[in-house]
Amino acid sequence: MAQANVIKVVIAEDEDIIRGTLVRKLEGLDQAIQIVGSAQDGKEALELVNREQPDLLITDIRMPVMDGIELIQSIHRYYPRMRKIITSGFADFEYARQAIQFNVIEYLLKPIATTELARVYNRVKTLIEAERTDFKTQMKSLQPSGADTEELVQMVQGFMREHYSEDLSLEQIARSFNFTASYLSKIFIKHTEEPPSRYLMSLRINEAKYLLRNHSHLSVKEVGEQVGYSDQFYFSRIFKQMTGFTPKEFQK
């Protein structure tokens, strides 16, 4: 199966039996489904999402360590376009109301019937495939010979805002838009007066500053990983270069 057709899914559910049943039901619905991870609490699920970049998150509301609402709130900040489904054994309508603002597609009551799961999944799959088709259409319309380069730069900026937490290089970004790295760098500097690498660095450091100020329970290593730096020492060096402070100094 072509990778482009795969629907990557992360599941968060603290009950082992329910989690296992949900995995089996999903895998039986569609060959396109790829369960890239399952977690027993929100913190573990957030780590999976950061690592695997799934298309869909299915999460229980009531979980230890980090509950489902905290989880989808964090994910919505980093991955606003990721599809989310919440599940619960209770009619937690207040939770459901809160979840609407975080791009939650559906609210499913346990026990989840296979027919209901199939209905919701098919809706999500349709949305994901339509979004992928729209993106491909936009890319075809933005060829170097006739492209509005300012619009292209805005799209690249949007792409970086959505994917800054990933291990991105200029070559990878350019490849996503079917251009060479040198061409993309040239038009980016023309319209923004800075290279794309500098723009990406600013995105990451600004988000790191937010996390250090508002999530003091996170370690410097965890903050670095959430903004795209897997090497803690490199992250600290870049942070000090951009702010004049080490992450630890800034956090105090």
pLDDT digits (tens, 9 = 90+) for 62-107: 888 888 888 988 887 767 778 999 988 776 666 666 666 677 888 8
Angle at 20 between CA 23 and CA 48, to 5 degrees: 65
Separation of first and last alpha carbons in the chain: 50
Which pairing describes strands 33-39 and 7-12: parallel, antiparallel, or unpaired?
parallel
Identical fold between 3-132 and 142-252:
no
Q: Is the pLDDT of residue 4 over 90?
A: no
Average pLDDT (22-29) is 94
**Which residue is listed with tokens 């996390």?**
211
What are the beta bridge partners of residue 239?
none
Which pairing describes strands 56-60 and 33-39: parallel, antiparallel, or unpaired?
unpaired
Q: Is the pLDDT of residue 38 over 90?
A: yes
Query: Which one is predicted more confidently, 18 or 138?
Result: 18
Domains of the chain: which residue ranges? 3-132, 142-252
The topology (CATH level 3) of 3-132 is Rossmann fold (3.40.50)
Average pLDDT (171-181) is 80
C-alpha 185/C-alpha 177 separation (Å) is: 12
Instruction: State how far the alpha carbon of 237 is from the alpha carbons of 161, 202, 230, in Å.
Output: 22, 14, 13
**Residue 145's pLDDT is what?**
46
**Residue 1's pLDDT is what?**
40
The topology (CATH level 3) of 142-252 is Arc Repressor Mutant, subunit A (1.10.10)
Q: For the sheet containing 56-60, what is the strand order?
A: 33-39, 7-12, 56-60, 83-88, 104-109
Summarised one tens digit per residue, pLDDT across range 109-119 is: 888 999 999 99
The listed range with the strongest mean pLDDT (1-5, 73-77, 206-210) is 206-210
CA-closest candidate to residue 46, choices 17, 67, 25: 67
**Residue 5's pLDDT is what?**
81
In the structure, what pLDDT confidence band is assigned to residue 190 with cuts at 50, 70 and 90? Answer: confident
**Residue 65's pLDDT is what?**
87
Q: Could you tell me which residues come within 8 angstroms of residue 251 by beta carbon, excluding any fewer than 6 positions away?
A: 212, 213, 216, 220
Tell me the whole-structure pTM to 2 decimals: 0.60
CA-closest candidate to residue 86, choices 17, 30, 71, 36: 71
**Residue 21's pLDDT is what?**
94
**Residue 17's pLDDT is what?**
93
Contact 7, 56 (CB under 8 A): yes
C-alpha 239/C-alpha 55 separation (Å) is: 30
